[in-house]
Amino acid sequence: MPSVSTQITWIVVGYAALVAVLAVTAAARGTERPRWLDQMAWMLELLVVVRALVGLGPLLGGDRPESTSTYVGYLVASVCVLPIAMRSVQDDRATWSAAVVAVAAVAVGVVAVRLQMTA
């Protein structure tokens, strides 16, 4: 059975992909960015924070990652990307703002995979 961190990573990746697809769909419809998309993005952030907290384990325990600085970089990036992206479109609910959410969601998914690979 895969470790807890691996399982959470897959949940993060799957959910990030879902958010990205829905964000692209919302953008393609050409309407205002829906509120539920924001809520889904913040749910993703919550998942990422849980993954990051679990990810602190290898840093504190004896089984340290091969490149600690790379690992810490991915750890910090994983939790920062979404808040920064959501902040940048805070007052802007126009169509294209949903595409920004899509970019951020894909980035979070990729960072989650890289984090897992460097652990």
Of 3, 23, 27, 26, nearest to 15 by C-alpha is 23
For another protein, the closer of residues 18 and 103 by Cβ is: 103
For another protein, the closer of residues 2 and 64 by Cβ is: 64
Chain centroid to CA 25: 18
Q: Evaluate whether 112 touches 78 at the Cβ level (below 8 Å).
A: yes
CB of 27 to another protein, least distance (A): 9
CB of 110 to another protein, least distance (A): 9
> What is the spatial distance between Cα 103 and Cα 105, in angstroms, rounded to a whole number?
6
Cβ atoms < 10 Å from Cβ of 11? 14
For another protein, the closer of residues 14 and 30 by Cβ is: 30
| Interaction site with another protein (CB under 8 A) | 67, 69-70, 73, 77, 81, 84-85, 88-89, 92, 94-97, 99-100, 103-104, 107
CB of 7 to another protein, least distance (A): 25
